[in-house]
A = this chain, B = another copy of it.
Amino acid sequence: MDNKKVAVIFKAFCDENRLHILGLLRNGERCACNILEEMQITQPTLSHHMKILCDAGIVIGRKEGKWMHYSISNEGLKEAMVCLEHFRNDSECESGKSCCKK
Contact = CB atoms under 8 A, between A and B. Distances in A.
A98 B62 CA distance: 11
Contacts of A85: 77, 81
Interface residues of A, number: 53
B10 A10 contact: yes
A97 to B, nearest CB: 7
B34 A20 contact: no
Given A13-B83, A28-B89, 12 more contacts: A3-B23, A6-B19, A7-B13, A7-B15, A7-B16, A10-B14, A11-B14, A27-B91, A29-B99, A33-B100, A34-B98, A69-B95
Interface of A: 3-4, 6-7, 9-11, 13-16, 19-20, 22-23, 25-31, 33-34, 58, 62, 64-65, 67, 69, 71-72, 74, 77, 80-81, 83-89, 91-93, 95-100, 102
